[in-house]
Amino acid sequence: MISTSVLLFFTVLTGSAYGHVIKNDQKQHNQNVGIIDGHRIYIEQAPFMASIRLYGLIHACGGAIIHERFILTSAQCAETNSYLKVYVGTRKIYEGGKAYDVVKNIKHEIYSVQTGDYDVGLLKLNESLTFGPTVAKVLLNEGTMLNVTGFGFTDPDNVFSNIVLRQATVPVIPKDLCMRYHYNFQVTQRMMCTNAMVNDPCMGDEGGPLTWNNIQVGIISVRTGCGQLPTIYTDVKAVNQWIKKTIEKHDTEEK
């Protein structure tokens, strides 16, 4: 069971790595893309940011604090039977912060790996977070010019280069324009897109939050190649009911 989930996680990682190799020849157009670009930030500027660690060690995904016991992430990041820890309150990927054990990981019941639809998941922590200047929650809503925050790669070829939290401002693009780029992919009602040519999330950023001020509007979902094609997010307002319902259901349980 454990090895299956490990495989799953690494399939996700290598799957996108292949994408980058294929798209390498287009890279010249995109030298300045990314959380790849963006800028370093202090955790106080994004205190909602969480790092999801596979086996409690390896940064695998981003997440956002939306409740004292729950982290919002993508379904693909919640879909594992492996031991997970969540780190909050630090801008350094392997330094500082406070760790919490994940006691429950829940992906949306109708999430599809094939289509990427309903890519939303929640992680329940072993105890309530202590909020302060470096640990705080985001609210869930929508906006237009949004901040994307992550510990992910800063260069498609430079594995695990980003050890300090970064943030970039990305423009939301209309769904029909997004579909024109992703002509072989169904952009559903649960999805939204940002222009990757300006700034873009990269590997290790998925599951992380797209925010407007302190309001979460998206979850980094389908990585399409750091700065190559518009990035697809799960639209938080489309899965808001699921998030609320799931937290309510599991909040009062022992685990």
Quick one: tokens of 155? 């260069």
Overall residue count recorded for the chain in this entry:
255
Contact between 141 and ligand NAG (CB under 6 A)?
no
Q: How far apart are CA 31 and CA 26, in angstroms?
A: 10
Residues of this chain, 47-86, that bind ligand NAG according to CB under 6 A = none
Contact between 99 and ligand NAG (CB under 6 A)?
yes
184 burial via Cβ count (<10 Å: 0-12, 13-18, 19+): exposed
Phi, then psi, of 195 in degrees rounded to 5: -70, 120
Q: Which of 22, 213, 249, 251 binds ligand NAG (CB under 6 A)?
A: 213
Q: How far apart are CA 202 and CA 151, in angstroms?
A: 9
Q: Which of 76, 134, 211, 228 binds ligand NAG (CB under 6 A)?
A: 211
Instruction: Please tell me the count of residues contacting ligand NAG according to CB under 6 A.
Output: 15
Contact range with ligand NAG by CB under 6 A, out of 5-13, 174-182, 189-197, 211-219: 211-219
Q: How far apart are CA 88 and CA 136, in angstroms?
A: 9
Contact between 145 and ligand NAG (CB under 6 A)?
yes
β-strand partners of 236: none
Specify the residue for token string 């009062």: 252
Residue 44 or 157 with smaller CB distance to ligand NAG: 44
CB of 32 to ligand NAG, least distance (A): 18
CB of 199 to ligand NAG, least distance (A): 11
Question: Is residue 152 within 8 Å of residue 164, measured between CB atoms?
Answer: no
Contact range with ligand NAG by CB under 6 A, out of 20-28, 97-105, 171-179, 220-228: 97-105
CB of 161 to ligand NAG, least distance (A): 20
Give the amino acid at 214: N
Which residues lie near ligand NAG (CB under 6 A)? 41, 45, 99-101, 126-127, 145-147, 167, 169, 211-213
